[in-house]
Amino acid sequence: MIDLKIFSRDIDKLSKVRTPKRLFAFIEDEVAAFFEVSYLDLFVLNDSETEYALRENITRVKDMLRVARDERLDLEDPIIVYLSEIKKAILPKELNESLAVTLLQSRQKVLSSLRDELIERRAEICVPGFVKDKLVAVLIMGKKISKEEFSHQEVELFSLFAAQAAKVIYNFDLLKKEVEQFVKSLRKINNTLEEKDPYTLGHSSRVAQFSVIVGRKFYDRLEDIPYGEISLYYAAELHDVGKINLPDSILKKKGPLNDEEYNEMKKHPLESVKIINPLEKWFGREILDAVLGHHENHDGTGYPHGKKGDEINILAKIIRVSDSFDAMISDRPYRKALIHHKVLSELKKGRGTQFDPEVIDAFLETYKEGLFKDIFFSQLESKA
């Protein structure tokens, strides 16, 4: 007998889930496994609100593979129409009872179409996830592997879970739309910067990609940061945006900067933070600290505040290494790009002084695993 109290406590974990990616992991690890359902499909309303796309499919019994052959449900699909109307879980048993007492022919037709679809999908339960009266998500599950029927308590828990899952998806999509509008304007600044300094073409994008890939080695620590992986991406992409306020004489100088010029250059993290400041509303202070600290050194010799060790934000530590790596493998006004083995050697030399030892080790491990290959290929393509 399943102890539903355990799963009730597990649902509380959803309050810490903020992204669909984490939600899908929760569904696989907690929901499908806990109830031992033969299959589970999660359909989510698309951005244009014209259909529901299959976002997650978990199949735990071989003969249930791709029972839901359609990867989308349109707005006229019987499941969508009926869930929008009754706003509660659909169970085949209750559906048959409704069919038995329904006299209207038009109603019988609707219910018959729905029953046929459930039979075709071998669906045992369909659960809606509403947010503000909008059907955002639909959870469809097959029978339990044990062949037991779902209890009323289980149906209630599924309904609670679907509502929470819909909220995660809805809030994330809302955040994504709002943030993208703002970031779009910042990308224009980055583009202007790259036009002023062609040597930095694609630099911000590559640093963001390197950073996210390395960041996955620090899954647990990023989990403790609101929208950790997304914050890391945006912080890395926008880390140099403040350079737009530097004069061309510094940006394009074909030689070492003098003390006065270097002091001006050291201000760019502060300028970047001023520009991206509105992002704090969505991501919290961590994203600002990530940009502010991307030139801080592990031993405290960096800038702008000379922070060291654990005083430095983990996102900043990752960007620090990714930024240095990309700068060294790219042509700059004052030197040609270094070959990779030379760059890796330089990174190792900076382990524990410029760079956090854990981050350097993770970066080198990621490089050896070949996870950066696509980025290198796109860099070569852009050069060509």
pTM: 0.82
Q: φ and ψ at 44, to 5 degrees?
A: -130, 140
Q: Do the domains at 4-169 and 197-383 have one common CATH topology? A: no
CA 264 to the chain's CA centroid: 35
Instruction: Report, as an integer, the average pLDDT of 255-265.
Output: 91
Q: Which pair of structure tokens corresponds to residue 152? A: 């009323």
Q: Which pair of structure tokens corresponds to residue 365? A: 């491990």
The whole-number pLDDT of residue 76 equals 94
For the stretch 343-359, pLDDT in tens is 999 999 999 999 999 99
Distance CA 200, CA 218 (A): 28
Would you state the CATH architecture of domain 197-383?
Answer: Orthogonal Bundle (1.10)
Instruction: Report, as an integer, the average pLDDT of 89-99.
Output: 89
Which residue(s) pair with 90 in the sheet? 126
The whole-number pLDDT of residue 1 equals 46
Answer yes or no: is pLDDT of 6 > 70.
Answer: no
Answer yes or no: is pLDDT of 10 > 80.
Answer: no
Number of residues in the chain? 384
CB 330 within 8 A of CB 337: yes
Distance CA 123, CA 67 (A): 9
Distance CA 33, CA 146 (A): 12
The whole-number pLDDT of residue 70 equals 63
For the stretch 297-307, pLDDT in tens is 999 999 999 99
Answer yes or no: is pLDDT of 320 > 90.
Answer: yes
The whole-number pLDDT of residue 212 equals 97
For the stretch 246-258, pLDDT in tens is 998 888 887 888 9
Domain 4-169 in this protein, CATH class = alpha beta
Q: Is the dihedral of CA 345, 364, 313, 320 positive or negative?
A: positive
The whole-number pLDDT of residue 3 equals 56
Domain ranges of the chain: 4-169, 197-383
Q: Which of 88, 85, 80, 24 is nearest to 51 (CA)?
A: 80
Read off the pLDDT band of 63 (50, 70, 90).
low
Q: Which pair of structure tokens corresponds to residue 348? A: 């190792």
For the stretch 111-149, pLDDT in tens is 999 999 999 888 999 999 999 999 999 999 999 988 888
Instruction: Report, as an integer, the average pLDDT of 26-40.
Output: 85
The whole-number pLDDT of residue 195 equals 83
CB 68 within 8 A of CB 54: yes
Q: How far apart are the two ends of the chain, measured CA to CA in Å? A: 63
Distance CA 139, CA 378 (A): 38
The whole-number pLDDT of residue 146 equals 87
Instruction: Provide the edge-to-edge strand list for the sheet that holds 72-74.
Output: 72-74, 51-59, 39-45, 134-141, 125-131
Read off the pLDDT band of 381 (50, 70, 90).
low
Answer yes or no: is pLDDT of 236 > 90.
Answer: yes
* Strongest mean pLDDT among 91-95, 144-148, 240-244: 240-244
Identify the residue with better confidence: 378 or 320: 320
Label each residue of 266-320 as H, E or C: CCHHHHHHHHHHHHHHHHCHHHHHHHHCCCCCCCCCCCCCCCCHHHCCHHHHHHH
